[in-house]
Structure 1
Amino acid sequence: MDDLAKIADISELKGEVVVARRTVYVYQAPVRIWHWVNAACMTVLFITGYLIASPPGSLGGEASAHYQMGYIRFAHFAAGQTMAVFFLMRFVWVFLGNPASKQLFWVPVWKKNFWDGLWNEAKWYAFAVKFPRQYVGHNPLAHLMMFFVFTLGTIFMICTGFALYSQGAGEGSIWAKLFGWVFLIFPNSQDVHTYHHLGLWVLCIFAAIHVYAAVREDIMSRQSMISSMISGERQFRDDKV
């Protein structure tokens, strides 16, 4: 059986009390490190990105005594470059890690059980079923959202962000050579700014939903979620159903 396949459907237990606490090692150290570094970078990017789009009021005194927007932009650029490097490392780990490390970059849309699991998870989040299914990695709904919103969204933000950065670095810079093609798709630089800013809000909303879902699952589904990204182990607590 696939390591990421459904390992139990406690809806089939029909109220029986099963005493069991199963633990499966899911998230390897590089994945966990990337997750928390990425979370820190996104937090900085959300705050500084908002301030860049909606600058704070001017400070009093001599302009030469302040570097407010300069510090904000530096933090944004540094967090963006750090996130891009770790995202590249995360992609490389797809070829070196366990099956769970691969979920972020592909979705098995050709599998019937994926769509069946997706429908069941949608009902679970809508409080239409009493018990969830248990998965070693991401459940199908989370899998779908992580790929189409987070992964593709992050790639879009990295490409548009570095394209905008290349304008300040100059036409002959490495950034312009690597990401200048973005302006072939969006010739108007302001359009790139706008889409990049909209992407910020999409990922910000996604992050809020992600945190809500993790906390909800940790409490309601009897599966460890938050602690799994610290220890790497997912615990299935079937002592109460």
Structure 2
Amino acid sequence: MSVQEPFPAPVIASDFDETDKSVTARTTSVYVYEAPVRLWHWINAFAIATLALTGYFIGTPLPTMSGEASANFLMGYIRFAHFAAAYIFAIGFVFRLYWAFVGNHHARQLFAPTVWKASWWLEVLTEIRWYLFLEKQPKKYIGHNPLAQMAMFVFITLGSIFMIVTGFALYGEGSQPGSWANRLFGWVIPLAGQSMDVHTLHHLGMWFILIFVIIHVYVAIREDIMSRQSIVSTMVSGHRTFKDDDPD
């Protein structure tokens, strides 16, 4: 890799192999996340926030409303916002799955963590030690580190599929037999036992994703500060910038 002093030239992802091992000294900036991935990330975050807020009120409706019942449609608006955000969330997930095939290899990390490699699991343990303040120096990764890959796969990939399937099963129940949602997802309710069971599972899924979001935001800010590499701004610009020249 050629480097020009005193300012190293930006490095593109193709200069590294598919395994995304740690970044060496002198690397300053790497283009990681393409624009469609970044756009999906922020739209998905907005959809999740809307779904969580409206879903909470759907599960725990307001106890009373002032005025005549015929003059209030607040819960109707809340349900509409929930359903609209659900469509955005589901369509966005399908698009993100498509981009995993047509985008760069960083776009595939969300769906295909290399769990069959022993070295990958060793790096997961290293990252756990780093987050527990047992490692003195962080390893630097161009894309997601192995622990983040595993967390993203479980909570975003599998979690999204679970929430889409259970959510549209409940939506199909309300839209009656014959609707597209009921035809595609009507099997979920009998499989779970009854409608209330699916409601409970869907509600629990929301809390699992919200807990992940809280941890995700904390870790992103922590890494920005402690590992001396950009995390938050990378999802805006697409570039990961390494703020020092220390090797791994």
> Hey, what does 1:150 align to over in structure 2?
156
Displacement, 1:183? Answer: 2.0
**TM-score, length-scaled by structure 2:** 0.90
Displacement, 1:107? Answer: 1.5
Question: What are the equivalent positions in structure 2 for 1:30-49 lying under 5 Å apart?
Answer: 30-49=36-55
> Hey, what does 1:12 align to over in structure 2?
none
Residues 7-34 of structure 1: per-residue CA shift (max 9 Å, x gap)? 337xxxxxxxx7x451110000100000
Query: Unmatched 5+ residue regions in structure 1?
Result: 10-17
Q: Secondary structure at the match of 1:234?
A: strand
Aligned letter for 2:173? Q
> Hey, what does 2:97 align to over in structure 1?
91
**TM-score, length-scaled by structure 1:** 0.92
> Hey, what does 2:35 align to over in structure 1?
29
> Hey, what does 1:197 align to over in structure 2?
203
Question: What are the equivalent positions in structure 2 for 1:148-227 lying under 5 Å apart?
Answer: 148-227=154-233
> Hey, what does 2:23 align to over in structure 1?
8
Displacement, 1:236? Answer: 1.1
Aligned letter for 1:82? I
Distance 1:8 1:2 in 2: 11
Percent sequence identity over aligned pairs:
52
Task: Decide which moves more: 106-115 or 86-95.
Answer: 106-115
> Hey, what does 1:103 align to over in structure 2?
109
Distance 1:226 1:3 in 2: 23
Task: Decide which moves more: 220-229 or 53-62.
Answer: 53-62
Aligned letter for 2:213? A
Show structure 1 runs of 4+ deviating over 4 A.
Answer: none
Residues 126-176 of structure 1: per-residue CA shift (max 9 Å, x gap)? 000111101111000000010012210111000000000001111100111
> Hey, what does 1:14 align to over in structure 2?
none
Greater relative CO (CA pairs within 8 A, separation 6+):
1
Aligned length, in residue pairs: 232
Query: Unmatched 5+ residue regions in structure 2?
Result: 1-15
Q: Secondary structure at the match of 1:8?
A: coil
Q: Secondary structure at the match of 2:202?
A: helix
Aligned letter for 1:6? K
Check whether the contact 1:3–1:99 (CA below 8 A) recurs between aligned residues. Answer: yes
RMSD, matched Cα:
1.5
